Chain A
Amino acid sequence: MIDTHLDRLAQAARRQLRRPRVDLPLLLALVLVGTIGLVTLYSAGDKDASIVINQGMRFLMGGVALIAMSRIPPSTLRNWTPWFYAIGVVLLVLVELFGEGRGSNRWLDLKFVRFQPSELLKLATPMMVAWYLHARTLPPDWRDLFTVAVIIGIPAGLIAEQPDLGTSLLVAASGAFALFLSGLSWWRIGGLLGLAAGAAPVAWHFLHEYQRNRVRMFMDPESDPLGNGWHIIQSEIAVGAGGVFGKGWHQGSQSRLEFLPEHTTDFVFSVFSEEFGLIGVVLLISLYVFIIGRSLWIAANAKDTYSRLLAGAIGMSFFVYVMVNGGMITGLLPVVGVPLPLVSYGGTSAVSLLTGFGVLMSIHAHRKALR
């Protein structure tokens, strides 16, 4: 009796090892980035253990979400997708009506938990696009293009209205990537980009004054040495002073002496660059590239269109985080509040990111039979 039980367990374990439900290389890379994040936070937060503990708790929650999501087959996820998306949009509208938050309405207080519905849409939007395109013949035509634009535009517009430009950008990008991966012709992509360029002056009209100031400041940081421009200059000094080898852990004067703003959240990358130098930066960016590449590889082996598009979109939107945040702290791009994934402190971003990777894991577990 016992023997057969043990046998079964051993068999199950062997099966798991031979064909695990989670993709171990991807998981390993995520754990590595998370560890780098915690180490950096301990320094950036001035050796405040509570920051590390809180972030560790979020990783733990994210890990649980990742495992849980990896157990849900993509076909089930696909069936849930329209509901998931609809609930997300309804919550966004509720936030618009009853939300709270400093300066902008992002948080919804459900008594037992406070959260940002916009985080939900980071996943729900590419899911919905993939769900829609799953049923269409690809590559998509103009009609599909229009429908997808509506699917993306509703949540992205509501979030931009909050105002949260960074998250709006991420939501829009994740949906757009699904469209890109579905094989939208290059001509149409070119047309869309041209349209976007043409719409920029219109968008400028709708931007909040502080957002416009950020763009103006980006064009000429010295023009605003007391506000945002000051932050960028200080961030560039931090990065540059790091040199090739960095100043060493907890040796960054820019962060320690509080010249850097938000050094545990949006500008944590500056702290990292100052303390670990170019070597650290290249290592971290390589890890990110590996995660993105691995995600696309998982996508390429996925079973159906829905899984493929979703997995690819999740992987590619990860890139947007890195690019926008890295571009901001080096003065390459304007200031947009996007965290460095799995490193920046706080928010629900770590949890929602890991939930997304849980979906990837599930898609991986249900991949096509190996040929």
Chain B
Amino acid sequence: MSPRRTKLKDSGSEVALFQRRAVAGFLIIVVCLGVLAARFVNLQVLRHAEFATRADANRIKLRPIPPARGLIFDRNGILLADNTAAFRLEVVPERVRNMDALLDELRNVVPLTDDDIKRFQESRKGRRGFNSLPLRFRLSDDEVAKFAVNRWRFPGVEVVPYLTRTYPRGAEFGHVVGYVARIDEADLQKLDASRYAGTTHVGKTGIERFYENLLHGEPGYERVETNADGRALRVLDSTPPRPGKNLYLSIDVRLQEATEAIFEGKAGAAVAIDPRNGEVLAMVSVPSFDPNLFVNGISHTDYRGLLSSPLRPLLHRALVGTYKPGSTVKPFMGIAGLEMGVRQPGDTVVSTGEFHIPGQSRGYRDWRRGGHGRVGLVESLAQSVNTYFYSLALDMGIDRMTSYLGRFGFGKPTGIDLNGEGNGILPSKDWKRAMFDKPWFPGETVIAGIGQGYWVVTPVQLANATAILAAKGEHHPIHLLRATQLGFNAPVEPMPLARVDSSFIVKMTNWDLVRDGMVAVVAGPTGTAARVFADAPYTAAGKTGTAQRFSRTGDEVDKRGLTDAQRHQALFVAFAPAEQPQIALALVMEFGASGSADAAPLGRKILDAWLAPPPGTLAPTPTAAPPAMGPSR
């Protein structure tokens, strides 16, 4: 008790005080509830006749009309995601006397899986028997006909037309476009119930998920007159739903097809970007899966098959696949060295086949035994001379390397419009301390200089970096959505392009030198991919890379039984035409022998498809404006 207080607790007076208050409180409560009761008298006695009439005449209900989902097209208006008319089986539980018996009997007419029945029973929970609930989606014509004949046997069961999502190009866009699937419990928690009234499906992956908000639209309502039992008799009037927006992607189906074809089903990923505006022209991850399987609930066998496949088709390699960049980082290292003044354009090193950190015995090798002799930057890029970049990295130091290469977007998501992008790893002192709580060693700087060690990139990251390099240091944020359209008659509205900072490259002659080196890779006499682009009608600049699939220290896999090809991943980055780049590319082949032998020729096929298509097959459309016409259907 505080000393301030002089009064003592007087329990007698407190009790009296309390009792006065209790009586006062009770009186207030009685008065309030009296007001409430008066309100009831007002409604139930004085205005009873009015409300009784209104209740009897209350035959009008609101019914949601789900909006049509926006369609998805490629940049030329080729359809990637469509709505097709289909039929589904719906049951009104209230009108079924014995649900189990009905379902058993119904199975003899229309095939129902145990999954269908389980989902249906789950959807019944917490809803009144009045609501019509879907039992099976996408009935075949045969099933519809068969049910129509037997319909009299199943009161309360009806065939209802609806729009279902289909993906006409199947697995080709399984990863990028993604798929919609039935709204599940987790979705219900997140979605605005009134906006999704009457809607059964929601975007789960890819563009379908990222742009769910644009694609979905707004539901409409119709006022329905019902009979005394509440069954709909006729529609009085309606507020039409507003359909979702049609999306035009920057992807070109023809380039996507050509890119997918080069893999011949072998695991890998490729991303092609227009460096002038950041548009993603092709984004391929092989193997893929058919998104149509997921729309109405994938069967357990199909799903187990996808999950257990050793090549992991559900993995979006281009977006989250992790790879060591290997020698593909050398052009970025080269420009970093020149721009920061660590190397002058005329500087050379002597490659003896083995590089040593002064005072250390461990040797860091060149790929050619005996070395490449005295070489400058251009030759070092062309022949992929490790020694040049070992010594450059050591002179630059890891901090400067990290900060300059960070400008090319390494080590962080590119911000492409897809969910769940991988981070990759740009090695740095901070990163290592956070990960392992260990200090940085100079040897780690040396191998980081040739894209080994802790490095990890995703294909989309590597493509983004290549695009920034091709754009001479300008960073155009990469994106898949090119334009939207509100309904077929509406104009196609291009997405506004992000404001672009000016180039971070100070001396363009530095860029020219790196480009010369990259041109020499694919066209020069000594380049690691010298013959590959020899007869191309355009000048390409590229860089090959090879990385070990398994780390030297990791013993989890027995490497002895594997061939060279199984041990290595082949990478290739390129842009073309070398003077005014229109396309930048990153390509990763899992199970490739080496970048030069395997990946570069495939990279050429992709660049050819865009820049020099065989006559009559593909006319490139690297135009600025999206198509003005509606889609051809």
Q: B221, A281: Cβ atoms under 8 Å?
A: no
Near B by CB (< 8 A), chain A positions 44-82 give 46
Using known A-B contacts A240-B51, A243-B45, determine if residue A137 contacts B22 with beta carbons closer than 8 Å.
no
Q: Is the CB of B221 within 8 A of A226?
A: yes
Q: Which of B15, B36, B44, B61 contacts A258 (CB 8 A)?
A: B61
Residue of A nearest to B53 (CB): A241
Interface positions of A from 264 to 323, Cβ below 8 Å from B:
273, 277-278, 281-282, 285, 288-289, 292-293, 296, 299-300, 304-305, 308-309, 312, 316, 319, 322-323
**What B residues does A278 contact at CB under 8 A?**
40-41, 44-45
Residue pair B40, A293 in contact (C-beta under 8 Å): no
Smallest CB–CB gap between A272 and chain B, Å?
A: 11
Within 8 Å by CB of B47, from A226, A240, A254, lies A240
Please name the residue on chain B nearest to A325 by beta carbon: B36
Residues of chain B within 8 A (CB-CB) of A316 are 25, 29
Q: Which residues 11-69 in A have Cβ within 8 Å of B in the complex?
A: 46
Binds B, one of A88-96, A150-158, A176-184, A359-367: A176-184
Name the B residues within 8 Å of A249 (CB-CB).
Answer: none
* B41 CB, nearest partner CB in chain A, Å: 7
Q: How far is the CB of A196 from chain B (nearest CB, A)?
A: 16
Asked whether, in the complex, the Cβ of B21 is within 8 Å of the Cβ of A289, the reply is: no
Q: Which of B5-13, B438-446, B503-511, B560-568 interfaces with chain A?
A: B5-13
- List, in ascending order, chain A residues with CB within 8 A of B194's CB: 227
Q: Which partner residue on chain B sits nearest A288 by CB separation?
A: B33
Interface hub of A137, A258, A299, A312 (most chain B Cβ within 10 A): A137
Q: Is B121 an interface residue (CB 8 A)?
A: no
B230 touches A240 (CB 8 A): no
Within 8 A of A (CB), among B29-84: 29-30, 32-33, 35-37, 39-41, 43-45, 47-48, 50-52, 54-56, 58, 61-62
Report whether B26 and A183 are in contact in the complex, using a CB–CB cutoff of 8 Å.
Answer: no
A259 contacts B61, C-beta separation under 8 Å: yes
Q: Is the CB of A308 within 8 A of B51?
A: no
Residue of A137, A183, A237, A300 near B5 (CB, 8 A) is A137
Complex CA–CA separation, A271 to B1 (angstroms): 53
B130 at the binding interface (Cβ < 8 Å):
yes
The proximity string for B residues 192-218 relative to A, scoring 1 for CB distances below 8 Å and 0 otherwise, is 001000000000000000000000000
Most interface-central of B10, B33, B55 (chain A CB within 10 A): B55
Knowing A46-B129, A242-B44, A273-B44, the reply to whether A285 touches B54 (Cβ < 8 A) is no
Question: Within the complex, what minimum Cβ distance (angstroms) separates B93 from chain A?
Answer: 10
The CA-CA distance from A183 to B7 in the complex, in Å, is: 16
Alpha-carbon separation in the docked complex, A94 to B373 (Å)? 65
Interface residue A135 (Cβ < 8 Å from any Cβ of B): yes
The CA of A349 and the CA of B180, in the complex, are separated in Å by: 38
Does A244 touch B at the CB level, under 8 Å? yes
Cα distance A46–B129 when bound, in Å? Answer: 8
Set A180, A244, A288: member contacting B21, Cβ < 8 A: A180
In the complex formed, the residue of B with least CB distance to A245 is B44
| B104 contacts the other chain (CB 8 A) | no
With a CB–CB cut-off of 8 A, which chain A residues contact B1?
135
Say yes or no: B18 contacts A308, CB within 8 Å. yes
A277 touches B7 (CB 8 A): no
Residue ID in chain B nearest A184 by CB atoms: B21
Most buried by B among A135, A234, A241, A288: A241
Q: How far is the CA of A181 from the CA of B15 in the complex (A)?
A: 10
Interface of B is mostly: helix
Measured CA separation A199–B36 after assembly (Å): 26
A12 nearest CB across to chain B (Å): 31
Complex: A241 Cα to B229 Cα, angstroms: 17
Contacts of B228 in A (CB 8 A): 253
Answer whether residue B552 sits at the interface, using C-beta atoms and an 8 A cutoff. Answer: no
A100 to B54, CA, bound (A): 40
The verdict on B557 contacting chain A, using a C-beta distance below 8 Å, is no
User: Which of A119-127, A162-170, A326-334 lies on the face that meets chain B?
Assistant: A326-334
Inter-chain contact A236/B43, CB cutoff 8 Å: yes
Q: Is B369 in contact with chain A by the CB < 8 A criterion?
A: no
Q: How many residues of B sit at the interface, in one of the four size bands?
A: 35 or more
The CA of A246 and the CA of B129, in the complex, are separated in Å by 25
Contact of A138 among B17, B22, B37, B54 (CB under 8 A): B17
CB–CB A243/B52 < 8 A: yes
* B29 x A236 contact (CB < 8 A): no
**A residues near B55, Cβ cutoff 8 Å:** 237-238, 240-241, 253-254
- Chain B residues with CB under 8 Å of A242's CB are 44
| Minimum distance in angstroms from B139 CB to a CB of chain A | 28
Minimal beta-carbon separation of A344 from chain B (angstroms): 15
Cβ of B322 under 8 Å from chain A: no
Known: A240-B50, A243-B52, A332-B39. A312 touches B18 (CB 8 A): yes
Residues of B within 8 A of A100 (CB): 189
Contact A138 to B130, CB < 8 A, known contacts A244-B44, A326-B36, A330-B40: no
Residues in B with CB closer than 8 Å to A323 are: 32-33, 36
Q: Are A183 and B43 in contact (CB under 8 A)?
A: no
Name the residue of chain A whose CB is nearest to the CB of B57.
Answer: A237
Evaluate contact between B25 and A177: CB separation under 8 angstroms.
Answer: yes
A192–B197 alpha-carbon span in the complex (Å) = 44
Contacts A244-B45, A322-B33; is A312 near B40 (CB within 8 Å)?
A: no
Contact check, A319 vs B32: say whether CB atoms are below 8 A apart. yes
B51 and A296 form a contact (CB under 8 A):
no
Pairwise interchain contact A293-B44, C-beta atoms closer than 8 A: no
Q: Do B52 and A240 have beta carbons less than 8 Å apart?
A: yes
Question: B188: CB under 8 A from chain A?
Answer: yes
CB distance from A129 to the nearest CB of B (A): 14
Please report B residues at the A interface, Cβ cutoff 8 Å: 1, 5, 7-11, 14-15, 17-22, 25-26, 29-30, 32-33, 35-37, 39-41, 43-45, 47-48, 50-52, 54-56, 58, 61-62, 94, 128-130, 188-189, 194, 221, 226, 228-230
| Closest CB pairs A-B (n = 8) | A240-B51, A241-B55, A257-B230, A183-B17, A240-B43, A278-B44, A243-B48, A296-B22
Give me 21 A-to-B residue pairs in the complex whose CB atoms sit less than 8 angstroms apart, sorted by A's number.
A46-B129, A137-B8, A234-B58, A236-B51, A237-B55, A238-B55, A243-B44, A244-B44, A257-B229, A258-B230, A273-B40, A278-B41, A278-B44, A285-B36, A289-B33, A292-B29, A296-B26, A305-B14, A309-B18, A323-B36, A332-B35
Given contacts A102-B189, A258-B61, 13 further A-B contacts (CB under 8 A): A137-B10, A237-B58, A240-B47, A244-B44, A253-B56, A257-B226, A278-B44, A288-B33, A299-B22, A300-B19, A312-B21, A332-B36, A332-B39
